[in-house]
């Protein structure tokens, strides 16, 4: 039992070409920056956006296939869709919102109302059945949207930025609830998000998408330990360099060689943690083989650490303590030297 999609479409500046398979039992997060095409991909799978070529198959049944011309309209696909902003019908009560899908699929008024009440109980909103969506808090709306999508018993649950509309203060709690409800749903689950924290918290597997293309997939641990794109590296907060390995060095475009203990041969990624990078005002003496000069272009205080962005032969981000920064007497624009050990460079094939 799985969802299998292969979709190619052009929509405005977006050129989307994605293939993905999601199995029952796993919660998958589609992670990517704004404009990567995540929402468009979700809408295409729901039949709301036509695509140029490709197919969508759910549990082996074809929902859409451009090769054969098959197309099951959105309203006949067994999907539950939680939209960004939730899109609860403002003119209907909470109960009628949750019952809407059941009524649309032919359930009688009484049975639909009864099942809707059950669902409201499951999300802890039985007391709000008569309320209008406008009277609810953001978190409550999110739960109604989830109940509304799940009530008709879909096979595939699609969630588009389910927490983006919430205050930071309520987000953590709603996220825990959402994780619990996702766990109890017996179908295929796909969550779209641009927030890595959310993706890691909710999903068993991440699919990272950039500019309409898949860049990386794997468990949250796999993805964060071996970023394969600048986007993921930035999310995780590490330095990522791509280059050619040559027995102990990684040569990056431009000619600079980075000494890296594990480098053998072929195209590789080299990852350096910011904490492994030391900053000096004068050229350091001693063992590190990687020493460059540069200019501190940005200094940012993050909790009890300071991130310093250094422009130079190899642009890097280093992390020091506020005390160390004070000792260095460093301001933005200041000349610095950086160094790191060859053994602090993680190397893996590109």
Partner 1 sequence: MRRERVPIVVVVPAAIGAAFFILPLVGLVVRSPWRDAVTALTAPETIEALKLSLVASLSATGIGLILGVPLAWVYARVEFPGRDLLRALTTLPMVLPPVVGGIALLLAFGRRGLFGSWLDTTFGITLPFTTAGVVMAETFVAMPFLILTVEAGLRSMDRRYEEAARALGASRWRVFTRVTLPLIGPSLFAGAVLCWARALGEFGATITFAGNFPGVTQTMPLAVYLLLETNQEASFILSLVLLLISLLFLVVLRHRWLGSA
**Binding range to partner 1, per CB under 8 A, among 40-48, 111-119, 185-193, 245-253:** 40-48
Task: Give which of 27, 4, 20, 33 is closest to 203, Cα–Cα.
Answer: 27
76 is an interface residue for partner 1 by CB under 8 A: yes
173: left (phi over 0), alpha (psi -120 to 50) or beta: alpha
For residues 339 and 291, the answer to whether their CB atoms sit within 8 Å is: yes
Q: CB 254 → partner 1: shortest distance, Å?
A: 46
Answer yes or no: are the C-beta atoms of 279 and 328 closer than 8 Å: yes
Q: Is 91 in the site for partner 1 (CB under 8 A)?
A: yes
Closest CA to 171 of 151, 197, 146, 153: 197
Residue choice 21, 52, 53, 104 for contact with partner 1 (CB under 8 A): 104
Q: Which of 48, 183, 323, 350 binds partner 1 (CB under 8 A)?
A: 48
Minimum distance from CB of 290 to partner 1 (Å)?
51
Residue 80 interacting with partner 1 (CB under 8 A): yes
316 near partner 1, judged by CB under 8 A: no
Per CB under 8 A, contacts with partner 1 among 212-271 are none
Count of chain residues binding partner 1 (CB under 8 A): 25
Q: Determine, following the binding rule CB under 8 A, whether residue 58 of this chain makes contact with partner 1.
A: no
Measuring CA to CA, which residue among 202, 195, 212 is closest to residue 37?
212
What is the SS3 assignment for 319? strand
Taking the complex as a whole, the smallest distance from the CB of residue 276 to partner 1 amounts, in Å, to: 47
Determine the interface stretch with partner 1 among 24-32, 101-109, 224-232, 290-298 (rule: CB under 8 A): 101-109
Q: Distances in Å between the alpha carbon of 30 and those of 245, 287, 294, 302?
A: 31, 43, 37, 27
* Minimum CB distance to partner 1 smaller for 76 or for 281: 76
Q: In this complex, which beta carbon is closest to partner 1, that of residue 75 or of residue 267?
A: 75
- Judge contact between 338 and 279, C-beta under 8 A: yes
Using CB under 8 A as the binding rule, whether residue 81 contacts partner 1 is answered as yes
| Cβ(193)–Cβ(41) below 8 Å | no
Q: Which is nearer to partner 1, 48 or 197 (CB)?
A: 48
Among 7, 16, 22, 79, binds partner 1 (CB under 8 A): 79
Cα 184 to Cα 194: distance, rounded to the nearest angstrom: 24
Q: Which residues 119-158 are close enough to bind partner 1 by CB under 8 A?
A: 148-149, 152
To partner 1, the closest distance from the beta carbon of 21 in angstroms equals 22
Contact 192, 206 (CB under 8 A): no
Least spacing, CB of residue 111 vs partner 1, in Å: 15
Cα angle, residue 97 at apex, residues 96 and 98 outer, rounded to 5° = 90
Q: Using DSSP, how many helices (H) and how many strands (E) does the chain show?
A: 9, 21
If binding is defined by CB under 8 A, does position 108 make contact with partner 1?
A: no
| Contact footprint for partner 1 (CB under 8 A) | 43, 46, 48, 73-77, 79-81, 83, 85, 87, 89-92, 100-101, 104-105, 148-149, 152
């Amino acid at each position: 039992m799985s969802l299998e999609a292969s979709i190619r479409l052009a929509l405005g500046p977006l050129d989307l070409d994605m293939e993905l398979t999601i199995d029952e039992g796993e919660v998958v997060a589609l992670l990517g920056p704004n404009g990567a095409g995540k929402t468009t991909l979700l809408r295409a799978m729901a039949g709301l956006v036509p695509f140029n070529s490709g197919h969508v198959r759910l549990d082996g049944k074809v929902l859409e296939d451009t090769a054969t011309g098959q197309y099951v309209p959105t309203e006949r696909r067994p999907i539950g869709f939680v939209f960004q902003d939730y899109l609860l019908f403002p003119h209907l009560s909470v109960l009628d919102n949750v019952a809407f899908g059941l009524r649309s699929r032919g359930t009688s008024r009484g049975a639909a109302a009864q099942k809707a009440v059950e669902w409201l109980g499951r999300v802890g909103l039985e007391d709000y059945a008569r309320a209008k969506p406008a009277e609810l808090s953001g978190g409550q709306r999110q739960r109604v949207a989830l109940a509304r999508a799940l009530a008709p018993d879909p096979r595939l649950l699609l969630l588009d930025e389910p927490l983006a509309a919430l205050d930071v203060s309520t987000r953590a709690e709603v996220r825990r609830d959402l994780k619990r409800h996702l766990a109890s749903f017996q179908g295929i689950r796909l969550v779209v998000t641009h927030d890595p924290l959310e993706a890691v918290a909710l999903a068993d597997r991440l699919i990272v998408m950039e500019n309409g293309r898949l860049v990386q997939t794997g468990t949250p641990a796999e993805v964060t330990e071996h970023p394969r794109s600048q986007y993921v590296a930035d999310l995780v907060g590490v330095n990522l360099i791509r280059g050619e390995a040559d027995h102990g060095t990684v040569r990056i475009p431009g000619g600079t060689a980075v000494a890296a203990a594990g480098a053998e041969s072929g195209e590789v990624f080299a990852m350096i943690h910011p904490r492994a990078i030391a900053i000096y005002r004068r050229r350091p003496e001693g063992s590190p083989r990687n020493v460059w000069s540069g200019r501190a272009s940005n200094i940012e205080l993050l909790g009890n650490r300071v991130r310093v962005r250094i422009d130079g032969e190899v642009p890097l981000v280093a992390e020091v303590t506020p005390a160390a920064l004070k000792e260095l007497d460093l301001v933005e624009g200041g000349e610095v030297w950086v160094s790191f050990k060859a053994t602090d460079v993680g190397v893996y094939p590109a």
